[in-house]
Structure 1
Amino acid sequence: MHLAELGVAGRRQPLFARRGAVATSQPLAAHVGLSLLQAGGNAVDAAIGTAAALTVVEPTSNGLGSDAFALVWDGKRLHGLNGSGKAARGWRAEDLRAAGHTAMPQHGWASVTVPGAVRAWADLHARFGRLPFATVLEPAASLAEDGFAVSPVVADAWARAVDGATARRRAHADPAQEEFLRHFAPEGRAPGVGEVWRSTETAATLRALAASGGADLYEGEAAHRLVSFADKTGGRLNAADLADHRSRWVEPLSVAYRDHEVWEIPPNGQGIAVLIALRILEGYDPDDVAPFGPAGAAAAVTALPRPQAWHRALEATKAALADAHAFVADPEYADVPTAALLADAHIAARRRGLGAHAHRPVGVDPRASDTVYLCTADDEGRFVSFIQSNFAGFGSGIVVPGTGISLQNRGWGFSLQPGHPNEFAPGKRPFHTIIPGFLTRGGAPVGPFGVMGGHMQAQGHVQVVLDAVEGGDDPQTALGRPRWFWDAESGEVQIEAAAGAATAHALAAAGHRVVTARSATVFGRGQGIWRTTEGTLVVGSEPRADGYPVGW
C-alpha cells in the first residue's frame, strides 16, 4: 500500500485501527459490530451482529428472509460458507412455463427460495463464535424495538420499493403481497430521510431466533407462520423445505494474480467470473492493465483512468461473465466445469478473443440486486467477508404477517430455458450474484473486500483488485476511485463524471457505448480491510453510500 500519498485535503481517508474493525453501508450496524468486539467478541461475533443489525436498518437490501455467503480467515486458513437456500419442492419448471412464464417471476411465491441467512449466522456462530448467540443478536432487536432514523440511500430505495408495490397492486392484486405495504408503508408511504422507523414484530422475531439458536425460522413459530401464510396465499414452500435446509461449508476458490491470491466462493455464485477475468488480465504486461498509473507506482487520488487499461478490464470481465452465465449453477444438479473454466487453455483462448475493439457477449443475465456487504477483523488475526441479500429491493414482495420477515426473491435468478444448467428445479439452489471476496499475499492475509450490486459485483471485485495489486491502493482509495459498469441489458458502459471526458471519448473510440451514469447506485457499494505487515488494519467504506468504517 502506498500510504504516504494520503495527505490530500477534501477526500475520505481510510480508518487505521489496531484491535478490531468493522466496515459496512450503515453506521448504526457498524457500531453494533464494534460494540461486540469491545465486549470481548471476535470478528465472527461482530460480523453476525452487524448482519443482524443490517436487516433492521437497511431492510431495502436484506432481511431475515435473505440468503448469505461468508469467507472466514480463522488466523491460519480460509473457510467458505454457502448460506443460499433451495427452491420449494412443490414448484416445477413445467408449472411455471404452463402458466405463461418464459422467465422466472420477479415477485410472488414462485420467486421465493428457502431463506438461508439466519441458518448461516447460526452455523458461523457454532463453529467460530465466542459470545452467546443471544448477546450477538440483541443489539439488532433493540434497534428494531427502539427505532432508528432512516438514512438517505435507504430512504430513496424504500420509496422506490413502495411505489413499485403500489403499482403492482393496482395492476394485479396479490393477497401474498398485501402485508408488505401494511408493514413497510403503514401510513401509505415510505419513511423519509431522518424519520424514525421501528418494528416490534421484527424485534420479537429476532429475540425468538436468538433464543432458539436460529432454529425458529426453520422449525419453530416463525416457520409455522411462514408455511401457514404460504398455504393461504398460493405458495408451495412447506415445512419440510424449511426444516431440511442446511448451509454448506465449501472450499474457497482462488487464483494467483501477480504476487497475490484472490479468493471467492465456488458456484452456485458468480465469484468464478472474477477469477476468470483476473487470469485473463494477468497475461498482459502490468503497465497495460494498471488502471490509474504505471504498475507499482502510487497514482494520485485525483488521477484520471488509463482508457486502454479500462478497455482491457472491461473486455476480460465481459468474457468472464458470459462464462459464468453459461455454466454456473447448483453443482448438486449440474456439472459445473470449474477447473476447465480456470484452466490455462480456456484462459488463453478467451484472451485471444479480445482485441482493440469492444465486443458484446450474449447470454449474460442483467438482473439487478440489492445487497449488503460487511467485513470485520479482530486482534487475534481473524477476518470475515460477509454478504447478505434479498436480491431485488425488499425481495419477493412477501412479508410473513406478524414477523417482520421479508422473503427474498432469489428464485428470480433461475432460468426457465429448458436444459440450461441453471434451469429451475425443485430443491435446487439458483445462480447467485452475491459474492464475498478475500485477498492474500504469499498465503498471508491481506484482508476481506466486497462490492455489492447484481452483476456489478464481479465487475467491482475486478476493479478493486486491480487498484490494490497493480496500483498499491489502500481499500479507501480503491473504493473512492472512479468506476465503470457494463450494463448487460443495454450494452452501455456507464462511467462516473469523475473519470473525465477524455476517458469517455477513448472508450467510445474503442467501440464501447459510453454514457455518464445518472446515479452512483449502479456502481455498487463496497467495503474492505487490509492488514499491513506490522498488523495495522487499514479500513475503507464506500463513499457512494451511507456507511463508514469503525475500529479501535
Structure 2
Amino acid sequence: MQFNLNAYPYASQRRVILAKNCAVATSQPLATLAGIEMFQSGGNAVDAAIATAITLTVVEPTSNGIGGDAFALVWDGKLQGINGSGKSPKNLPLSAYSSLEKMPDIGWLTVTVPGAVSVWYEVWQRWGKLPFEQLFAPAIRYARNGFPVSPVTAEIWRRKEVVYLTKKRPEYQYFQQVFFPKKRAPKAGEIWGSVLHAQTLEEIANTGGESFYKGKIAEKINNFAADTGGYITSDDLAIHTPLWVDPIATKYKELEVWEMPPNSQGIAALMALNIVEGLNIEQYKRDSVDSFHYQIEAMKLAFADAYAYVSDPDFMKVTNSNLLEKNYAKQRQELINNQAIPLANHGIPQGGTVYLCTADAELMVSFIQSNYDTFGSGILVPETGISLHNRGSAFTLEKGHSNQIAANKRPFHTIIPGFLTKDNQPIGPFGVMGAPMQPQGHLQMVVNLTDYQMNPQTALDAPRWRFLEGNSVLLEMGASPEIIAGLRERGHDVKLAPETMFGKGQMILKNNGVLIAGSEPRADGLALGY
C-alpha cells in the first residue's frame, strides 16, 4: 500500500489518560511502553522514568542520546533536583575561538562533558527498586533488533541531512555511517537500529555507568578526541559529578511553579509568569490578540534578563532571588503596552531535547535530557554508537559576559523540567522540549491551566506562539487570520511555522487521587497509565 505517514489533513483529538496507580507520558510510544514495562515488573516512577529516558536515546536520537545532558525533578514528599550538565574541558584553549565571530554549532569546540548517564545512575541509586541493568532492557532490544522510525522523528532526521552529510572532516565520518547508513535519513516506517548503541548500553548497565566516566568508554572518547582535534579527556570525564540542587519557584495564582535553578533557563519561565501575573490575562479570551500579545511581551523581557545574567552559578553576577522579586517583575511589567517592544533590554535587578514524566502513588518525576541541537555535535565515538552533544555552543564569545566560554565551566542550559504544587502538595510534572521554546511553553501551559482552566491535554494542544528575537514571532500554521493581523498591527513581525517549532510537551497532574496524563500531538508521543 502507498500512503504518506506524515500527512494528516484532518484535525484529530486526543483525550486525557486517567489512571489510579501509575502513569507515563513521553514523546515516543515505544519509550512510554518501556516505562509501563517497569511498572508492571514491580518498579516505581523513578525506574519507569530512567528506563524511558534510556529508551529515548534509541528511538528518538534526533533529540537526545547517551552523549547528552539530563536534569530531573523528583517528588518523594518534597521536591529535589539534579543537574547533570557537564563542564567544558579543563584544558580547553581559548585561542581555539579567537578567530570566530560566534560560537560554532557543531564539532569538537561545542562538546562538553555529557552528564545524562550520571543522572540515570544517581537517581536510580537514591530511589530505584529494580536492578539497574533491568532498566536498560527495552532500549537494548530496540537498538539491537531495530524499530520503525516514527513520522515526526523521521521528518526532523531528514531536515538535518544538509547539516551532517556535508561534513568531510574525519571526526564526522562515524556519525554519518551510523545515523545515515543509506546516505540519507531513514523514512517514517523504515527500520533503524544500532548494534553499537546496544553494546554501549550493556556496558553502562553492567558497570553502573562507571565505564562511561572512568573505564573503557571514557578511554575511547579520550582517544578519538586526541586523534581528531578534540579537547575532552578521560580526566574531564572522571571528575564529572552531577549536582543535587534546590529547585526554585514562584507563586502564580493558586499554584507554586517549580523550575531548576541556573545554569538552567528555567528561571526565565518564572520571571515571565511574575510579569504576566499582574496583567490579569484571564480577562482576555485564550485565543485572542491581547492574550498572545501580553504573554509574548512578558516572555521577551524575561529572556532579555535570562540571556544577560544566567550562566554557571559560580559565575553569575546576580542572584536568583534578585531576578524573581515580585517588585522587579512590576518594574518590568511597566514597560509593556499595546505595542510590541522593538528591542527588549535587560533590567537591573536589585541585589535543543526530550521531556518525559512519570508518577505513581509515592513518587513523581519530571525528567529531561538533550543533545542540544537535534543530534548534537555530529561527532560519534567509534565502536560506541555515542553521538556527543553540542551543549558548548550555548556559551557566548562576548567578553566579560558571565556565560563567556571558558575552561572547566558549565554553559547556559536550555533544558528545564517543570513541576507544580499547591499549598506544598504535589500537583505534578510538566514540560516542553525545544531549546528557547521551553520556558515559553511552560508559561503558556501554566496560563492555560490556571487562567483558562484547561485540562492537561487541551493545555498541551492549544495553539502556541514562539518569540524569536526583536519583534519576530512565530505562530502555528493553523493560527487564525484575526490573531495574525492583530499581532502585526501591534508591531510584531509574524511568520507561520510548522508544529515542530513549538516544542513537544507532556504532563501528569494529580487531582483527587487520580493521575491525569497528556502527551501533545506535535510529537509522536503517548501517555499511558493504569
- Per the TM superposition, whether the score is higher than 0.5 is yes
How do 1:337-486 residues align onto structure 2 when only pairs under 5 Å count? 337-361=319-343, 370-378=352-360, 380-486=361-467
- Per-residue CA distance 1:261-298 (angstroms, 9 max, x = gap): 0000000011000100111111123534x552xxxxxx
Q: Which amino acid aligns with 2:188?
A: V
Q: Could you tell me how far 1:390 is from its partner in structure 2?
A: 0.3
Q: How far apart, in 2, do the equivalents of 1:188 and 1:341 lie? A: 48
Identify the residue that residue 229 of structure 1 maps to in structure 2: 224
How do 1:17-32 residues align onto structure 2 when only pairs under 5 Å count? 17-32=19-34
Structure 1 residue aligned with 2:255, among 254, 260, 264?
Answer: 260
Q: Which amino acid aligns with 1:521?
A: T
Structure 2 residue aligned with 1:307, among 270, 289, 298?
Answer: 289
- Count of aligned residue pairs for this structure pair: 515
Q: How far apart, in 2, do the equivalents of 1:497 and 1:419 lie? A: 40
Identify the residue that residue 153 of structure 1 maps to in structure 2: 152
Matched residue of 1:163: which SS?
A: helix
Structure 1 residue aligned with 2:35, among 29, 33, 36?
Answer: 33
Q: How far apart, in 1, do the equivalents of 2:106 and 2:517 lie? A: 37
- Per-residue CA distance 1:48-106 (angstroms, 9 max, x = gap): 000000000001110000101101111x1100110101001121334311xx1121111
Q: Which amino acid aligns with 1:136?
A: L
User: In 1, are the aligned partners of 2:340 and 2:471 still within 8 Å (CA)?
Assistant: no
Structure 2 residue aligned with 1:68, among 46, 67, 70?
Answer: 70
Q: How far apart, in 2, do the equivalents of 1:525 and 1:10 lie? A: 16
Matched residue of 1:23: which SS?
A: strand
Identify the residue that residue 545 of structure 1 maps to in structure 2: 523
User: In 2, are the aligned partners of 1:162 and 1:181 still within 8 Å (CA)?
Assistant: no
Report the RMSD for the aligned CA atoms in angstroms: 1.4
Identify the residue that residue 332 of structure 1 maps to in structure 2: 314
Q: Could you tell me how far 1:128 is from its partner in structure 2?
A: 1.1
- Per-residue CA distance 1:334-388 (angstroms, 9 max, x = gap): 3342111111332121011111110133579xxxxx311000011x231111110
User: In 1, are the aligned partners of 2:301 and 2:344 still within 8 Å (CA)?
Assistant: no
Does 2:37 correspond to 1:57? no
Higher mean displacement: 350-359 or 184-193: 184-193
Shift in CA distance, 431/475, structure 1 to aligned 2, threshold 3 Å: same
Q: How far apart, in 1, do the equivalents of 2:395 and 2:245 lie? A: 21
Using the size of structure 2 for normalisation, the TM-score is: 0.95
User: In 1, are the aligned partners of 2:263 and 2:310 still within 8 Å (CA)?
Assistant: yes
Identify the residue that residue 79 of structure 2 maps to in structure 1: 78
User: In 1, are the aligned partners of 2:301 and 2:345 still within 8 Å (CA)?
Assistant: no
Q: Could you tell me how far 1:475 is from its partner in structure 2?
A: 1.2
Higher mean displacement: 192-201 or 46-55: 192-201
Q: How far apart, in 1, do the equivalents of 2:206 and 2:160 lie? A: 32
Q: How far apart, in 2, do the equivalents of 1:496 and 1:508 lie? A: 15
Q: Which amino acid aligns with 2:435?
A: G
Structure 1 residue aligned with 2:14, among 12, 15, 21?
Answer: 12
Q: How far apart, in 1, do the equivalents of 2:161 and 2:494 lie? A: 31
How do 1:87-166 residues align onto structure 2 when only pairs under 5 Å count? 87-97=88-98, 100-166=99-165
Matched residue of 1:102: which SS?
A: coil
- Per-residue CA distance 1:196-230 (angstroms, 9 max, x = gap): 11211110100110011111110111111110100
Identify the residue that residue 179 of structure 1 maps to in structure 2: 174
Q: Which amino acid aligns with 1:425?
A: A
Matched residue of 2:160: which SS?
A: helix
Identify the residue that residue 510 of structure 2 maps to in structure 1: 531
Q: How far apart, in 1, do the equivalents of 2:181 and 2:225 lie? A: 22
Q: How far apart, in 1, do the equivalents of 2:318 and 2:409 lie? A: 14
Identify the residue that residue 3 of structure 2 maps to in structure 1: none
Matched residue of 1:473: which SS?
A: coil
Does 2:499 correspond to 1:498? no
- Per-residue CA distance 1:125-158 (angstroms, 9 max, x = gap): 0111111100111211111111100111111122
Identify the residue that residue 6 of structure 2 maps to in structure 1: none
User: In 1, are the aligned partners of 2:471 and 2:491 still within 8 Å (CA)?
Assistant: no
Higher mean displacement: 10-19 or 80-89: 10-19
User: In 2, are the aligned partners of 1:69 and 1:435 still within 8 Å (CA)?
Assistant: yes
User: In 2, are the aligned partners of 1:389 and 1:434 still within 8 Å (CA)?
Assistant: yes
Q: How far apart, in 2, do the equivalents of 1:241 and 1:452 lie? A: 28
Using the size of structure 1 for normalisation, the TM-score is: 0.91
Does 2:242 correspond to 1:247? yes
Q: Which amino acid aligns with 2:28?
A: Q
Q: How far apart, in 2, do the equivalents of 1:522 and 1:399 lie? A: 26
Q: How far apart, in 2, do the equivalents of 1:335 and 1:124 lie? A: 31
Q: Could you tell me how far 1:418 is from its partner in structure 2?
A: 0.7
User: In 1, are the aligned partners of 2:300 and 2:344 still within 8 Å (CA)?
Assistant: no
Q: Which amino acid aligns with 2:108?
A: W
User: In 1, are the aligned partners of 2:266 and 2:439 still within 8 Å (CA)?
Assistant: yes
Q: How far apart, in 1, do the equivalents of 2:280 and 2:260 lie? A: 28
Matched residue of 1:531: which SS?
A: strand
Identity %: 47
User: In 2, are the aligned partners of 1:23 and 1:541 still within 8 Å (CA)?
Assistant: yes
